[in-house]
Structure 1
Amino acid sequence: MQQGQILFVSHMFGRFGGLEIYNLDTVHAFQNHTNVQVISAFTSRQEIYERISMKGLLPTQPLLQRIYRRTWRFWLNLALNSLKKDVDLAVAGHVLVLPQVANYAKKQGIPYWLLVFGIDVWGNWSKEVAKAIEDCDRVVAISEYTAESVRRRLVRNKDRVVVIHPAVDLDKFFAGSNANGSVNNDPLIILTVGRLAASERYKGHDLIISALPEVQKQIKQRIEYWIIGGGDDRLWLEQLADEVGVADSVIFKGAVIESELIEAYQRCNVFAMPSYVTQRPDGNWTGEGFGIVYIEAAACGKPVIACDSGGQTDIVVNGLTGLLVKPTVDDVANALVELLSDPKKSQQMGEAGRHLVGEKFRRELFNQKWTNLLSQLEIY
C-alpha cells in the first residue's frame, strides 16, 4: 500500500470505555498501513499515546474547560483548519464531531468516514448531521443492529454502511481453571460489567437484583452477584438490593484494572447483562450498540445472558452460547436458574461462545477488515 496520512477526529480518546477502545483499536489498525494524526475534542493530553500522535484540545484548567465546553466547535474547526494539507482521509470517531470533519474534508477535497455505535445515531438527526451522513464515503457500524438503523434513514448510499465488529484479544481473555461453584461451600457468581449511570439505567442491574430472591429460592447454593463498574447509580442499586432482601449477596467491585477484570470473568459462573433498547420520553434511545463485555466474557468461556434487542444479538446465539431474554424480572430469573442449575450446559455454552469469538471477533479479523476497507481507496 502507498503511504498516506489519515486524520482521526474523536470526541474522547483513551482506553476507558467500549466506544473509546474501539476508536483506539481502529487507529492501531490504520497504523499498520499509514501515518495517523489524532485530534480529540474532549481530551486534555497532548502526547504520544500508545504509539499514536494525539492532540487533545480540552484545557486542563477548570475555568477554561467551562468556557471551552461552550465553544468547542469553534476550537475544533480552528485546529482542523491549521493542519498541513497532506491528509488523504478524514475519519470521525463519533457523530458529535462529524459536521466539523465533513466540512474540513469537503474543503480539502478528500473522502471522509464516520464510525457509529448505537445510541449516538439511533435518535433523531439534525439536518446538518443527516446531510453529513448522507455524504459520507463510508459509515462503519459496530453491529448489524446499528448499521440497519442508519440504512433505514438514508435516502441514498445505503450500501456505504458496513459493519466491523469490535475485537477481543484471545491471548488475554481466556478460560481459566478457577471458576467458582466446584465445591458446595463455594458461592455461585453472577457477573455484570458496566457503568452505573443514573441517567441511563438500561443495563439491567436492577433486573438481576430483583430476580435474585427467586433464583436463591430455587438454587440451594449460595449466590453472589458481582457488579464491576462505577457511577452515580450505585446508591439506588444498593437501596434496591436492601429492599428485596439480597444486600448481602450483591457485591459492588467498582472500577478495576484489566487483570482483575479478566479474573472476575474467569471466576464467574454466568455473565449476565440484560441491557435493553428503549426510547426515553425526550426521544433519545438507550441500549447496547454492541457490548464488548459480552465477547470478553465469552472469550473467557462463560455463558452469557442478554436481552433480545440491540447490538448484543450479533454476539449471543440463543441456546448455543447463552440465552436471550425479555427485559423482565421473571425472564431474567428463569435464565439464571437454568444456567446456574446446570453446570454442564453452562460449560458447553461457554465453550461454544469462545469458539464463536475466535471465528468472528478475534483481533486479526478486525485488522483485516480495516485493511480491506482501506484498500478500496486508491491512495492505500
Structure 2
Amino acid sequence: MTTPLLTSNPSSVRSPLGESTHLFVFLEIFSCEGGIQSYVQDVLRAYEQAAAASSNPQAAEVFLLRDGVSCENPFDHLNNPYLQFRYFKSNSPWWGRLTLMGVLLGRLLRQRPASVICGHVKLAPLIRLLCKPLGIPYRVMTYGKEVWQPLPGSARQALQDAQELWTISRHSRDRACESNHLDPEQFKLLPCVVNGDIFSPGPKPAYLLERYHLQDARVLMTVARLWSGDIYKGVDVTLRALPKILHHHPDVKYLIIGRGDDRPRLEQLAQELGVSEQVVFAGFVPTEELPDHYRVADAYVMPSQEGFGIVYLEAMASGIPVLSGQGDGSADPLQDGKLGWQVAHRDPEAVAQACIEMLEGKDARVDGPWLRQETLAQFGEGAIAQRLQRLMGFQ
C-alpha cells in the first residue's frame, strides 16, 4: 500500500502569510482533463488574484484526493504565498480518502479556518461530517449534471446544510433546486471565465486554411466531444441544417473539432445528407492551437444543452458570433440572447435559419469587437477575481 504524499514542497508547508484561512478540498484537478478541472484551475487563479489585490490577503490550502505529487501543477511553486497543495493519491482509494479525512480533521481542530470549500458533491457528506460538529462553515461547488438529478440523502443534506452553494449558471442553480429541494438563496454564481489574452481576434491562419482546405470558404465551427453519450452537443443537428444553409451560402464548410466514438455515425450522416464534401472532421486539436482555430471560423455553432458552455466565451472573446441551444446554461454567456442566437437545440430548421442570419452579417450580434468587449466585461479573469474576492470576504 502506498502512503499518500501530503505535499510537494516540504520546505514551504506554511505560507509566508501565516496559517491558512481557507481550505479547498477537491477530487482531482491535474491528473485528468475536463471541463470541471479547467474551471477549478480558473477559480484558483482567481483566488490568487483576489488575495493579491486584498489589503488583508489570506492564504489557502488545497487538498487533492486523487492527484499525486507527480502531477504537473502550474500553481505549485516555492514563491506562491497564497496556495499550498496537499496530495492524497494512493494505490488504495479508501486509504487515500481515510488519510485525507484524518489530516483534514487535524487542520480543522488546530486552525479552525474561516471556511472550507468543498470542490465536488461527492465529497460533501464528508465535509459536512467534519465541519458541522465543529461549527465551521463550508461551501460546496457545483457545476452541472452532477446535481441535476435527485441525490442520495446524505449528499442532499450536505448541500442543504452548507453556508453557500457556488454554481456556474442560473440554469444549473435552478435544476439543482428543483431536483434536490434546495434554497435558491443559498446559491452564489461563480461563472466560467475566459482569458482574453489567449482567445483574441486575428486573421485566419494560413496554415489552418491549407490544412483543412478552407481557402475561399466561410466556416462554421463546433468544438465538442464526439461521444455517443453526448449527442446533446448537437453536431448531428447542425449537419441536418447544412443543406438549407448551403442553399443560401454555397461557399460554407463545417469544421468539427473533437474526437469520440460517435464520429463514424456523424460521418455516415454527412454522407447520407450529401454534404460530406463540405464537412471537415478535424479530430483532436492541441490546446495551444485552439485559439487559431477560432480565428479561422466565421461563426461558432453548438445547439447544445449546457450547464454553461465555456466554448461560447472563447468564440466571442475571439470576435466570433455564436449560436447556442435554448433553455440551458448558455443563457449566461450569451446574456439571454443579447450576444448571440439561442435556438431550440434539436431543431435543424431553427439552426439553419440562425446560421443564415449570422453569415449574412446584418445583425449587431456579429460585431466582433463589441462581442469581445461585452464578453470580457462579464467573464474576463479580472471580473471573476473581483466576484470571488467578495464571496470570500476579502477586504
Cα distance, 1:147 vs. partner? 1.8
Which residues in structure 2 correspond to 1:143-292 (within 5 Å)?
A: 143-152=169-178, 157-178=183-204, 186-221=216-251, 223-276=252-305, 288-292=306-310
Where does structure 2 lack aligned partners over 5 or more consecutive residues?
A: 1-16, 52-56, 77-83
1:329 corresponds to which letter in structure 2? Answer: P
Q: Deviations over 1:89-132 (max 9, x none)?
A: 22122212222222232355421111111111111111111100
Whether 2:373 is the aligned partner of 1:355: answer yes
**Equivalents in 2 of 1:206, 1:54: separation in Å?**
42
**Equivalents in 2 of 1:107, 1:319: separation in Å?**
45
Q: Is the Cα contact below 8 Å between 2:18 and 2:59 reproduced in 1?
A: no
Specify the alignment match of 2:4 in structure 1: none
Cα 1:262–1:87 shift into 2, 3 Å: farther
Specify the alignment match of 2:63 in structure 1: 39
Q: Is the Cα contact below 8 Å between 2:125 and 2:154 reproduced in 1?
A: yes
Q: Is the Cα contact below 8 Å between 2:339 and 2:365 reproduced in 1?
A: no
**Equivalents in 2 of 1:320, 1:352: separation in Å?**
11
Specify the alignment match of 1:76 in structure 2: 97
TM-score, length of structure 2 as denominator length: 0.80
Specify the alignment match of 1:113 in structure 2: 139
Specify the alignment match of 1:8 in structure 2: 24
**Equivalents in 1 of 2:35, 2:339: separation in Å?**
21
2:29 corresponds to which letter in structure 1? Answer: F
Which residues in structure 2 correspond to 1:89-104 (within 5 Å)?
A: 89-104=115-130
Tell me, what secondary structure is at the counterpart of 1:82? Answer: helix
**Equivalents in 1 of 2:71, 2:349: separation in Å?**
50
TM-score, length of structure 1 as denominator length: 0.83
Cα 1:235–1:104 shift into 2, 3 Å: farther
**Equivalents in 2 of 1:3, 1:210: separation in Å?**
58
**Equivalents in 2 of 1:117, 1:45: separation in Å?**
26
Whether 2:317 is the aligned partner of 1:299: answer yes
Alpha-carbon RMSD: 2.8
Cα distance, 1:133 vs. partner? 0.4
Cα 1:121–1:73 shift into 2, 3 Å: farther
**Equivalents in 1 of 2:227, 2:89: separation in Å?**
23
Percent identity of the aligned residues? Answer: 28
Cα distance, 1:58 vs. partner? 4.5
Q: Is the Cα contact below 8 Å between 1:271 and 1:305 reproduced in 2?
A: yes
Cα 1:19–1:356 shift into 2, 3 Å: same
Q: Deviations over 1:283-319 (max 9, x none)?
A: xxxxx11011101101111110011111101122566
Q: Which moved more, 1:194-203 or 1:127-136?
A: 194-203
Cα distance, 1:156 vs. partner? 6.7
Where does structure 1 lack aligned partners over 5 or more consecutive residues?
A: 277-287
Specify the alignment match of 2:34 in structure 1: 17
Q: Is the Cα contact below 8 Å between 1:46 and 1:55 reproduced in 2?
A: no
Cα 1:158–1:137 shift into 2, 3 Å: same
**Equivalents in 1 of 2:131, 2:257: separation in Å?**
40
Specify the alignment match of 1:126 in structure 2: 152
Runs of 4+ in structure 1 displaced over 6 angstroms?
none
2:349 corresponds to which letter in structure 1? Answer: D
Specify the alignment match of 1:284 in structure 2: none
Q: Is the Cα contact below 8 Å between 1:225 and 1:251 reproduced in 2?
A: yes
Q: Which moved more, 1:187-196 or 1:131-140?
A: 187-196
Tell me, what secondary structure is at the counterpart of 1:199? Answer: helix
Cα 1:321–1:352 shift into 2, 3 Å: farther
Tell me, what secondary structure is at the counterpart of 1:202? Answer: helix
Tell me, what secondary structure is at the counterpart of 1:321? Answer: coil
Tell me, what secondary structure is at the counterpart of 1:200? Answer: helix
Q: Is the Cα contact below 8 Å between 2:149 and 2:180 reproduced in 1?
A: no
Tell me, what secondary structure is at the counterpart of 1:106? Answer: helix
Q: Deviations over 1:168-203 (max 9, x none)?
A: 11122111133899xx96111111112122122111
Aligned residues: 352
**Equivalents in 1 of 2:202, 2:281: separation in Å?**
22
Specify the alignment match of 2:43 in structure 1: 26
Cα 1:231–1:97 shift into 2, 3 Å: farther
Specify the alignment match of 2:11 in structure 1: none
